[in-house]
């Protein structure tokens, strides 16, 4: 396994401080800790300089294909920074900003049936997301802000009584999601279907064209608020499907209110195809956009750390 690149060495004092505080969150799998000294502690120290240097709470984007570990990393960084520096770090998952089931049903009837399925650009509350970042950055001491919460097993937003409450001031915002940082492409690249879902259920390209338009519009504004973009680069789509299957088991266990819309294996295969196009685009394009790329191997470990080349 690789160590942290010499070209990206963090501040030594910051690293020594962070090494004393491995994350305590019970949701972090034991295997994650095996790369604590070589990868995660140096990463936390390296990102800390971005937070320290920023005049306002920075938005750090964490992009990664489904099951890549972006939620785990975000939880870990929040825990580490709280212990080491007493920083108030807020984790915002793009998943918690999904449109409600009813709103997506409306989209499926007025634009395209595939928009019933959550996940692709166009199925999030983008305006709320933009406003949320603005509010969090300006949150005064003692002031409060609520962040929506979404239950994947019931496929719907939770009631406000179960939303996340954040108290100000905020030191940093971790914005994690599978499509965080993705960009639109030329329409000519959308013509040929990429899988059976597109060929059979979007033969004229209406759905994928509409999703691409969302990336060129409000999502571009939203993602432009990211100050630093970290990419967890998955090996391929087969790994995404395997890891997403593991996630589904967890979703089923956490189903709220007795409503369970978790997927079987065939459902997961179809579900993943909704995201295949953008996942493949990200694997090709985001390494040149992100500030830092962590290459994840089939064993779910970091195999390489590469500086990005954002313009």
pLDDT for 249 equals 58
280-295 average pLDDT score:
95
Q: How confident is the model at residue 248 (pLDDT cuts 50, 70, 90)?
A: low
- Is residue 61 within 8 Å of residue 172, measured between CB atoms? no
Place of tokens 């793009």: 94
Place of tokens 């000519």: 188
pLDDT for 259 equals 53
Instruction: Assign 231 to helix, strand or coil.
Output: strand
Question: How does pLDDT run across 65-123, given as a tens digit for each residue?
Answer: 888 999 999 999 999 999 999 999 999 999 999 999 999 999 999 999 999 999 999 99
pTM here? 0.92
Domain positions in the chain: 6-284
pLDDT for 55 equals 87
pLDDT for 238 equals 77
229-257 average pLDDT score:
73
Question: How does pLDDT run across 44-71, given as a tens digit for each residue?
Answer: 999 999 999 998 999 999 999 888 999 9
pLDDT for 267 equals 79
pLDDT for 264 equals 72
Q: How confident is the model at residue 252 (pLDDT cuts 50, 70, 90)?
A: low
- Is residue 281 within 8 Å of residue 222, measured between CB atoms? no
The two beta strands, 156-157 and 150-151, are: antiparallel
C-alpha to C-alpha distance for 79 and 124, rounded to whole angstroms = 27
Rg of the chain on CA atoms, in Å? 19
Using the 8-state DSSP alphabet, how is residue 124 labeled?
A: B
Residue range 6-284 forms a domain whose CATH class is: alpha beta
Mean pLDDT of the chain: 92
Residue 142 has pLDDT above 70, yes or no: yes
Q: How confident is the model at residue 245 (pLDDT cuts 50, 70, 90)?
A: confident
Tell me which residue of 294, 184, 310, 309 sits closest to 235, measured CA to CA. Answer: 294
- DSSP assignments along 59-114, one per residue: EEEEEE-TTSSHHHHHHHHHHHHHHHH---EEEEEGGGGBPPHHHHHHHHHHT-GG
Residue 251 has pLDDT above 60, yes or no: no
- Is residue 190 within 8 Å of residue 212, measured between CB atoms? yes
170-188 average pLDDT score:
97
- Name the more confident of 265 and 71: 71
Instruction: Assign 134 to helix, strand or coil.
Output: helix
């Amino acid at each position: 396994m690789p160590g942290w690149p010499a070209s990206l060495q963090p501040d030594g004092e910051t690293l020594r401080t962070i090494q004393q505080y491995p994350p305590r969150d019970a949701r972090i799998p034991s295997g994650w800790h095996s790369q604590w000294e070589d990868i995660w502690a140096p990463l936390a120290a390296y990102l800390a300089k971005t937070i320290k240097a920023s005049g306002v709470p920075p938005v750090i984007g964490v992009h990664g294909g489904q099951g890549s570990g972006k939620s785990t990393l975000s939880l870990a960084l929040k825990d580490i920074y709280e212990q080491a520096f007493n920083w108030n770090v807020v984790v915002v998952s793009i998943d918690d900003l999904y449109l409600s089931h009813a709103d997506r049903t409306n989209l499926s009837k007025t634009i395209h049936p595939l928009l019933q399925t959550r996940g692709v650009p166009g199925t999030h509350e983008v305006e709320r997301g933009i406003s949320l970042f603005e509010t969090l950055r300006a949150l005064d001491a003692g002031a409060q802000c609520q962040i929506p919460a979404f239950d994947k097993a019931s496929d719907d937003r939770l009631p406000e009584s179960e939303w996340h409450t954040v108290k100000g001031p905020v030191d940093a915002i971790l914005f994690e999601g599978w499509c965080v940082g993705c960009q639109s492409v030329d329409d000519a690249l959308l013509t040929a279907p990429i899988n059976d879902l597109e060929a059979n259920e979007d033969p004229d390209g209406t759905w994928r064209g509409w999703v691409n338009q969302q990336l060129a519009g409000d999502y571009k504004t939203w993602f432009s608020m990211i100050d630093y973009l970290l990419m967890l680069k998955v090996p391929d789509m087969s790994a995404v499907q395997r890891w997403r299957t593991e996630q589904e088991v967890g979703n089923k266990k956490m189903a709220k209110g007795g409503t369970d819309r978790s997927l079987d294996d065939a459902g997961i295969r179809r579900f993943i195809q909704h995201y295949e196009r953008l996942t493949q685009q990200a694997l090709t394009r985001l390494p040149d956009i992100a500030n830092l790329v962590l290459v994840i191997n089939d064993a779910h470990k970091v195999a390489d750390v590469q500086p990005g080349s954002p313009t």
